[in-house]
Amino acid sequence: MGLTDSQAAVSVVAALAILAGLAGVVVPGLPALPLCWGGVLVWALFGGAGPGRWAVLAAATLVAAGGTVVKYAWPGRNLKRTGVPTSSLLAGGLLGLVGFFVIPVVGLVLGFVGGVFGAERLRLGSNQLAWPATVQALKAAGLSMMVEFLAGLVVAALWVAGLLFA
């Protein structure tokens, strides 16, 4: 396989971008799938692999684009079915972002739950009605993260296959 120094460096940069993308599923501010896809793009353009690199890039593009669509459409459909409005999710997202910086590690989750619960409590007028809506929002957020992470793993697997076989 004999990589040159520059090809090895490009492969390391691509690997780091893909790892950062996978971490971006849970870290606010890191665009998960664009980072994974960008790592494959850099490798395809500058990595010196064979012609199979373009097939790997095309497949990674399809997976990243499809994963992005599915991560919003599937949980969104579930939330619409259960009646949780977008405004509650925005409140959860904003408080989750604040919580991430105020209380390291657990603040993101606590802020999201608190924001959704607070918005649903105001909207529905009771704790008994707000909690099930909050649980549905948490399930949707978890599903979205799972879809994004799995799409990132598939992009990573495609890249590894490209390293080995392209």
Q: 85 in the Ramachandran plot: left (φ > 0), alpha (ψ -120 to 50) or beta?
A: beta
**What's the rounded Cα separation, in Å, for the pair 22 and 41?**
16
- Give the tens place of pLDDT for each residue, 44-57: 999 888 889 999 99
Question: What mean pLDDT value characterizes the chain?
Answer: 91
- Give the tens place of pLDDT for each residue, 50-77: 889 999 999 999 999 999 999 999 988 8
Helix, strand, coil in percent for the chain, rounding step 5? 85, 0, 15
Q: Which pTM does this prediction carry?
A: 0.84
Break the chain into its structural domains and give their ranges. Answer: 5-165
Q: What average pLDDT does this structure show over 134-152? A: 92
